[in-house]
Every structure is written in C-alpha cells, then in structure tokens.
C-alpha cells in the first residue's frame, strides 16, 4: 500500500478584476470550492492511477471536512486514517485576477493539529505501507515521528513543500527527496552556489538523502543517487494549468517505487503523469487514470 501523510485543505477561489489592496473591498465572481492540500492531492492522484492508497490527515468536523472526505472516497482512497475534529478544516483563500496572478491566504486549521500522537496511533497503517509519502503542510514534529514510525523495508518519500530547513534525521530517511527549483534553492540555502540543476541534485544528495529528484516543469526532471545523476525527459504537451503537477508527479513516483520500479523508471512514468495533469484545469480534477497516461 501507499500511505500518504499530509494536509487536506478546501481551496476557496474567487475571480476578481483586480486583487484588493490594504483596506480595500472589491467584488468578485461566485465562490468555487475545490478539495486541495498536498496530502489530499497526492492521495487522490495515486488512487486514480490505481494505487491502493491510505491517507493519514486531519480535517475539521465541518462542511469542508466532509467535502474532502467525499473527494477522497470518490477517488478510491481508504480514509480510515482521516481524523476529524480539533480545529476547522484547513482553508486556502485564493483571489485570482484575469492575468492569472493570485493572492493566497492559508489557514492550516486541522492540519496544524495532526500531531505525533496521531502518527503513533496509526501504527498498523505504517506496518502495511510499502511507501510513505509526506509533505510539509503539517507540523515538522509530526514528520519526524513519521520517520521514526517507518516499518522495516518501507520507503520514505518527501516533498518538502512549503520548503524549510530539515533536520538531518529527516533528510537521511528520504529515498527520494523530491524538490522543484524553488524548494531546491530554499533547502540548499547558502550551499546553492550554482545555477545548474545537476549541481543542486549533487549537493542535496551530499546532505544525506539516499536519493534526490529535482522536477523542472516543462524541462522534465533529474534523478540523483550514488549511481550518479540522470535526466528524465519531459513529455511535450500543451500546458493549460500546472496546478497540482508536482503532487501528481510525486504520487505516481511513490506508487511506482512501491511496485518495484527503479528510481529512473518511476520518474519517467511520473513525468508522463505530470504531463497529463498540466493539460487540464485544476488540481485533483486534472489527475489522470492509468489509461489516460498510457494513451499519452
């Protein structure tokens, strides 16, 4: 099984002619509410591809929490690990102007209350997980507890988003650490002395992960391990909306690693999944089935 530990948010989106400044009120479009959050997105992406997927997350006892549970179940995710209550469901308040520029306020809500004890209480989910995939929209102590809860032989995949410096214990467990350009630069900090993604991959690898993947949008990705650095070609598509591409990529990679593919093979498949995801609008709405990936 694939176990995703992470965030679940309701994305509340309003289109505006112009994003409001301080003290200003503007009128906007009708409200659109979409299920989101990196954990929820990854779980839906994996399940839609056909992966047996369990989500460990926390939502509020409210309408947004029910929306998230419904979207997980509709995609085929096992929601036994979705805890309810403790704070309102996490929310992202998003205004988008006609040029596509946005302003976003995130209220972590229940995501901030997914605590190490919740990880400890979910021990049986860890025993059954071949791969555990995590991001950083939950407390860092919880991520550390995930690392300590990994079953023998199970693999830890981390997308450090939003990026922040990571403890050595977490870095050392990553196999792989998956970063985009922005995340690579934040994790590298002062060590980012080059503009070449190959160099970022090498320097990141030297910080302790067993392997590293750098995603490069339309340029594809790079994989790095003790065997060296390899380019993963991108698939040429007409991109419509790149929201969620990284989540779809990570979910696909994690699933295929659990199925026994090599890192380079799994990344090549994940690049195809990411490519399909950018041809459609939205995050979870854009995630493909295995048939759609095969048809690309």
Q: Are the C-beta atoms of 93 and 68 separated by less than 8 Å? A: no
By C-beta, is 41 or 53 nearer to ligand ADP? Answer: 41
Q: Which of the ranges 33-41, 115-123, 185-193, 218-226 carries the binding residues for ligand ADP, by CB under 6 A?
A: 218-226
Nearer residue to ligand ADP within complex by CB, 3 or 223: 223
Position among 5, 204, 271, 283 found at the interface with ligand ADP (CB under 6 A):
271
Among the listed residues 158, 148, 177, 190, the one whose alpha carbon sits nearest the alpha carbon of residue 38: 158
Specify whether the CB–CB gap between 57 and 114 falls below 8 A.
Answer: yes
246 is in an annotated binding site: yes
Stretch that binds ligand ADP, among 7-15, 45-53, 190-198, 217-225 (CB under 6 A): 217-225
Say if residue 25 carries a ligand binding annotation: no
CA distance to 49, 61, 144, 149, 232, per residue, from 271 (Å): 14, 36, 28, 29, 8
Examine residue 163 and tell whether it contacts ligand ADP (CB under 6 A). no
The residue (of 45 and 125) whose beta carbon lies closer to ligand ADP is 45
Q: Is 245 in the site for ligand ADP (CB under 6 A)?
A: yes
Q: Please calculate the CA angle 177-250-231 and round it to the nearest 5 degrees.
A: 70
By CB under 6 A, is residue 158 in contact with ligand ADP?
no
Task: Supply angle C-alpha 100, 101, 102, rounded to 5.
Answer: 110
Query: Does residue 102 interact with ligand ADP by CB under 6 A?
Result: no
246 binds ligand ADP per the rule CB under 6 A: yes
Residue with the two structure tokens 């299920």: 35
- Residue appearing with tokens 């929201």: 243
Stretch near ligand ADP under the rule CB under 6 A, chosen from 15-23, 101-109, 199-207, 235-243: 235-243
216 binds ligand ADP (CB under 6 A): yes
* Contact letters for ligand ADP, residues 180-199 (x by CB under 6 A): x-------------------
Position 259 contacts ligand ADP (CB under 6 A): no
Residue 255 interacting with ligand ADP (CB under 6 A): no
| Nearest distance in Å: CB 271, ligand ADP | 3
153 is in an annotated binding site: no
Catalytic residues: 247
Binding site for ligand ADP (CB under 6 A): 180, 215-218, 220-221, 234-235, 237, 239, 242, 245-246, 249, 271, 274-275, 278
């Amino acid at each position: 099984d694939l176990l995703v530990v992470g965030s679940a948010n309701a994305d509340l989106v309003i289109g505006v002619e112009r994003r409001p400044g301080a003290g200003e009120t503007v009128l906007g479009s009708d409200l659109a509410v979409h299920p989101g959050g990196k954990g929820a997105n990854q779980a839906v992406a994996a399940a839609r591809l056909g992966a047996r997927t369990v989500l460990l997350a926390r939502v509020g006892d409210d309408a947004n929490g029910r929306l998230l549970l419904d979207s997980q179940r509709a995609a085929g995710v096992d929601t036994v690990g979705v805890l309810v209550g403790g704070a309102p469901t996490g929310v992202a308040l998003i205004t988008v102007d006609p040029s596509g520029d946005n302003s976003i306020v995130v209220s972590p809500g229940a995501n901030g209350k997914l605590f190490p004890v919740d990880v400890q209480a979910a021990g049986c989910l860890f025993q059954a997980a071949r791969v555990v995939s995590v991001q950083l929209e939950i407390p860092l102590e919880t991520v550390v507890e995930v690392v300590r809860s990994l079953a023998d032989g199970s693999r830890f995949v981390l997308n450090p988003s939003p990026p922040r410096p990571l403890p050595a214990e977490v870095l050392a467990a990553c196999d792989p650490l998956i970063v985009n350009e922005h995340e690579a630069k934040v994790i590298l900090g002062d060590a980012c002395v080059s503009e070449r993604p190959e160099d970022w991959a090498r320097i990141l690898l030297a910080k302790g992960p067993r392997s590293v993947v750098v995603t490069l949008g339309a340029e594809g990705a790079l994989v790095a391990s003790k065997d060296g650095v390899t380019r993963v070609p991108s698939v040429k598509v007409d991109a419509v909306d790149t929201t969620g591409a990284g989540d779809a990529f990570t979910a696909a990679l994690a699933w295929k690693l659990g199925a026994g593919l090599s890192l380079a093979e799994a990344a090549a498949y994940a690049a195809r999944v990411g490519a399909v995801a950018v041809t459609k609008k939205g995050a979870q709405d854009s995630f493909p089935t295995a048939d759609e990936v095969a048809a690309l």
